[in-house]
A and B are shown apart, each in its own frame.
Chain A
Amino acid sequence: MSEALLELNGLSKAFGAHQVLDGVSARIRPGEIVGLLGPNGSGKSTLLNAISGFLPPDAGRVTIAGTDITARPAHVVTRAGLARTFQLPNMPTRMTTREVLRAGDVAAGAPRHMLRRTGRDDRIDALLEMFRLAHVADLPASSLSGGQKKLLSVALALRGSPRLLCLDEPTAGVHPELRTEMVRILKQAAGEGTTLLVIEHDMLFIRQLCSRCIVLDRGHLIADCAPDELEHNGAVVEAYLGKAVQKGKTAR
């Protein structure tokens, strides 16, 4: 069996009496593009938070390339090679888009560069072009539209060429044409060695991008299959549509 890049072992998280994650186990191999699906409130974002150090899990283990990162602080997880975006991509009001991208280079922001002025950076220009943000590069990042903020957050996450990139609904609010572009960019990143875990509700995007899907429902992993097989998976259909609807649909 090939070595997993990301391995989750029995991850659990409860908020009070609400068990949001209940023993989630999964393996993602290097180079895979995995979709993480599930109805609203099924625990997808919580799972990502538990993996990326933003929310310590109650139980279970997370390893990246064999390194245990369970409940490690977020910056440690990031430096272990995991980059992530947020479902709500809030951006600062008193920094420009370009400055945010520049701040994305942790090495340049390291304390030993305290007195070094930031210079031009060709990689930033390339990212701005790639994500069609060049015309808003010098505007406050918070003034970007919702879709543009999504694009900026993906650009930021890609900036450090992470080993594992976890995206929380990267295309919500993004124009269809740019979505196709995003598929291309993410596939390119995968070709360059980045493994991807993508939370998405858009099935077309998932089909275009992912080789494999895992599905969460009320904190349990209920499916692990190819995107094409999802609609034939009873558990998945039931999770999304509920039993009654499924019967109604068969009757039609």
Chain B
Amino acid sequence: MSDFLIHVSAVACLYGILALALNLQMGLSGLVNFGLIALFGCGTYGAAFAHLWGWPPLAGLALGLVFAALLGLFFARLGDRMSEDYWGIATLSLAEIMRLVFTNEQGLAGGAQGVSGLPVTFAALPADTAALARLALYAALLVVAFVICQRIARSGFGLSLKLMREEPQLARALGYDLARSRRIVMVVSSLMAAVSGFLYAHYLTFVGPEQLMSHETFLIWSMVIIGGIANNWGVVAGAILMQFALAYVPFVKDWFDVPSDFVAATRLIIVGGGILAFLIWRPKGIFPERIGGSHV
């Protein structure tokens, strides 16, 4: 049971980093990205390629960061050319294209089979210690991501992002280059997502295209919406909450002795139903954004 708790907590930390990245885009800057998982995928596939080519894992991290920065810049570039709603659709499409390419190109990182046998992080340590060490590493990186996001949100730059989010016309009139702001936000958050992906790859020791399914993006959305859009504390809480809620679904299945289909269905209901319920009854989430929070 304790192993299980450590496992769920470790994954929750990685999702927490993703939730912070999405919050930086969507919560703070109003960049409605439905393709976040593609940026995470840059990290996982960076690790996969490095493994395939016999590079050291850290080279895979560098590769993933470069992929993510380029894809983030491309997303930002698309944002200069279309309205917000279309951008959301475009990001979703791009993520799906990426998944389909990795699924169907057999020569590319194992195609649908993916790449397995990646070294697990801290493999040199005894299993118990390694599990704890991984949890500590992920938690530390979550804290780093949190501090970065919090500092950005409270800086003058963060204020300009909020203005861009709500009154882009006014922001432009005040002299802000919105294209540049978008680029910066997309690169910073894409790097965060890629770090999460890289760690995830070396945690599961497996990278495959089904990790890039769009419902993964919506899981992260549910964390942000339920936790509290534009509240960094909230989205981390949302990530932990959702991760634990989903992790305990199989136990519920056992207790009530229902068929296995129940697990997948219930997860979808928790994610979809959670998003819906919160958007209807508590759109600001459990921890609403603090208005005026930049000057305390």
Contact = CB atoms under 8 A, between A and B. Distances in A.
Interface of A: 52-54, 73-75, 78-79, 83-86, 90-96, 98-100, 102-106, 108-111, 113-118, 120, 138, 140, 153, 156-157, 160
A96 B157 contact: no
Interface string B149-160: 001101111111
Interface stretch (B63-71, B176-184, B210-218): B176-184
Contacts of A115: 148, 151-152, 155
A100 B157 contact: no
Given A86-B169, A111-B184, A95 B177 contact: no
Interface in B239-296: 289, 291-292, 294-295
A112 to B, nearest CB: 8
Contact of B163 (A54, A100, A120, A157): A100
Given A92-B162, A94-B166, A140 B291 contact: yes
A124 B152 CA distance: 21
Q: What 5 A-B pairs come out closest when comparing CB atoms?
A: A109-B160, A108-B156, A92-B166, A78-B175, A103-B159
Contacts of A84: 173
Contacts of A108: 156, 159
Given A95-B291, A102-B295, A103-B160, A117 B174 contact: no
Contacts of A95: 159, 162-163, 166, 291-292
Most chain-B Cβ atoms within 10 A of its Cβ — which of A90, A104, A108? A104
Interface in B158-198: 158-160, 162-163, 165-167, 169-178, 180-181, 184
Interface residues of B, number: 34
A109 B176 CA distance: 8
Contacts of A94: 162, 165-166, 230, 289, 291
B154 A75 contact: no
Contacts of B151: 114-115, 117
A74 B172 contact: yes
Interface of B: 148, 151-152, 154-160, 162-163, 165-167, 169-178, 180-181, 184, 230, 289, 291-292, 294-295
A106 B292 contact: no
Determine the main DSSP class of B at the interface with A.
helix
A93 B177 contact: no
A111 B180 contact: yes
Contact of A75 (B156, B177, B230): B177
Contact of A113 (B155, B167, B181): B155
A117 B296 CA distance: 10
Contacts, number: 124
15 contacts: A54-B173, A74-B173, A78-B172, A78-B174, A79-B175, A95-B162, A103-B159, A105-B156, A106-B176, A108-B159, A109-B157, A115-B148, A117-B154, A138-B292, A157-B173
A153 to B, nearest CB: 8
Which of the listed residues B155, B165, B174, B180 has the most CB atoms from chain A within 10 Å of its own CB?
Answer: B174
A94 B177 CA distance: 21
A67 to B, nearest CB: 15
B157 to A, nearest CB: 4
Nearest to B180: A111
Contact of B156 (A96, A103, A160): A103
A103 B163 contact: yes
B156 A156 contact: no
B43 to A, nearest CB: 22
Contacts of B178: 75
A75 B162 contact: no
B166 A118 contact: no
Given A113-B156, A118-B295, A91 B167 contact: yes
Q: Which of B152, B154, B291 has the most CB of A within 10 A?
A: B291
Nearest to A138: B292
Contacts of A93: 166
B155 A75 contact: no
Contacts of A91: 167, 170
Given A90-B167, A99-B294, A103-B174, 18 more contacts: A53-B172, A74-B173, A75-B176, A75-B177, A86-B170, A86-B173, A90-B169, A92-B167, A94-B165, A95-B292, A103-B162, A106-B174, A109-B155, A109-B176, A111-B157, A115-B155, A117-B294, A140-B291
